[in-house]
Amino acid sequence: MKFAVFTASLPEWTPEEAVSKLAEQGWDGIEWRVVDQPPAPGGVASFWQGNRCTWPLSTFEQDVPRIRELTGKAGLGMPSLGAYASSDQLEDVERLMRGAAALGVPQMRVTVGKPGPEGYRAAFERRRREYREVAKLARHYGVKALIELHHQSLISSASAAARFVEGLDPDCVGVIHDIGNMLHEGYEYDPWSLEILGEYLAHVHVKNAAPVPQRVEGANRTDWTWRWAPLRHGVANLPRLFEHLKKIGYDGWVSVEDFSTEVPLEERVRDNLAYLREIAG
Distance CA 98, CA 100 (A): 6
With a cut of 90, say whether residue 138 has pLDDT above it: yes
Q: What pLDDT is stored for residue 191 in this prediction? A: 94
* pLDDT tens per residue, range 45-100: 999 999 999 999 999 999 999 999 999 999 999 999 999 999 999 999 999 999 99
CA atoms within 13 A on the CB side of 247: 11
Total of domains in the chain: 1
Query: pTM of the full predicted structure?
Result: 0.97
With a cut of 90, say whether residue 264 has pLDDT above it: yes
Q: Which range of residues forms the domain containing residue 207?
A: 2-280
Strands (E), the chain: 2-6, 29-31, 33-34, 54-55, 82-83, 107-109, 144-148, 173-178, 201-206, 208-215, 222-229, 253-256
Q: For residue 68, what is the domain's CATH number?
A: 3.20.20.150
Distance CA 111, CA 152 (A): 12
The strand pair at 222-229 and 208-215 is best described as antiparallel
For residue 40, what pLDDT band results from cuts at 50, 70 and 90?
confident
Closest listed residue to residue 83, CA positions, set 172, 155, 146: 146
Q: What is the mean pLDDT of the chain?
A: 97
* pLDDT tens per residue, range 214-229: 989 889 999 999 999 9
